[in-house]
Amino acid sequence: MNCPAVRDRLPEHTLGVADLHDVDAIERHLAWCAACRKEARDLERAAATLAFAPAPAAPPRELEERIVAAVRRDHPSPPITKLGRRRGRRVGVVLVAAALMIAGLGAGAVLGRRDAPPADKPSTQAQQQDAAFERFRRIIQSAGPDTKAAVGLLTPSGKVPWRGAALVIVSPSGDDQVVVTVDGLPRARGPYRIAITDGHGHAVPVGVIRRLDKEGGAMKGRVIARDLTEYVRVVVTDAGGRTVLTGVLDPAPPTG
């Protein structure tokens, strides 16, 4: 089954009502075709939303006892010993933000503030960009060889000591992810909203920064179920909707 045939059947497949004789072929195709798999995942998320639409009903009290008794009669659950194939891929992407934090690469570190002596601080925007690329490099490498990444510095429009950096990871097989770090922002103007936009006026929210560290820094990451290839600008706005930081993403250099 080729891609158009699979795409034609994906809605039914997603809703659980595909013809049985099509299913094996669809699954085989999805096993190797990353583009169709991504499409399938997008539709599956939409379908998962539907489950919550009906009004919740209050179950009878004894139902819980019946369920517990049924589970006790059943065999014990197998131990969780191994990550599945898809889980491994997702974890690899989701952990980007976590890896930054676990590695101690907080907002300031990414921007070169906390892990470099003053004399080594990048002085120009190009040098800062290079520094951001370098600090994100190991993170990009951890996301897999086929992953594309773009990095950009976020700068203010005026002469204020605010700054930021953004990393976008575009995965051919999994979800895309945005990680944004900011530094030096005044608490009084928060909360801050982050969005990533394409060249056609479409914006995808990345998150809301409600807490800043003592140096006005924060990090926000989000896994986004859409292709972010065309999304090249990151905008941070304050509580009043005014832009405080903005920046354009450039492809990161090869990680090899």
Q: Which position among 1, 5, 18, 99 is part of the footprint of another protein (CB under 8 A)?
A: 18
Torsion of CA 131, 136, 140, 142, to 10 degrees: 130
Q: Is residue 254 close enough to count as binding another protein by CB under 8 A?
A: no
* Burial of 150 from C-beta contacts in 10 A (0-12 / 13-18 / 19+): buried
Q: Give the whole-angstrom CA distance, residue 151 versus residue 78.
A: 42
Of the listed pieces 87-95, 145-153, 155-163, 240-248, which binds another protein according to CB under 8 A? 87-95
Nearer to another protein, 8 or 146 (CB): 8
Largest CA distance in the chain: 70
Smallest separation (angstroms) from another protein to the CB of 221:
10
Smallest separation (angstroms) from another protein to the CB of 211:
12
Strand locations in 130-201 (E)? 148-154, 163-170, 176-183, 192-198
Closest to 246 in 3D by CA, of 205, 209, 194: 194
Q: Which position among 4, 32, 61, 77 is part of the footprint of another protein (CB under 8 A)?
A: 77
Beta carbons of 81 and 151 less than 8 angstroms apart = no
Closest to 205 in 3D by CA, of 237, 181, 174, 175: 237
Q: Is residue 227 close enough to count as binding another protein by CB under 8 A?
A: no
Token couple for 172: 């051919």
Q: Which position among 1, 5, 25, 94 is part of the footprint of another protein (CB under 8 A)?
A: 94
Q: Is residue 10 close enough to count as binding another protein by CB under 8 A?
A: yes
Q: Is residue 70 close enough to count as binding another protein by CB under 8 A?
A: yes
Subset of 26-65 contacting another protein (CB under 8 A): 41-57, 59-60, 63
Subset of 168-207 contacting another protein (CB under 8 A): 204-207
Tell me, what amino acid is at 64? E
Which residues contribute to the site for another protein (CB under 8 A)?
Answer: 8, 10-20, 23, 41-57, 59-60, 63, 66-67, 70-71, 74-75, 77-81, 83-84, 86-87, 90-91, 94, 204-208, 222, 224-226
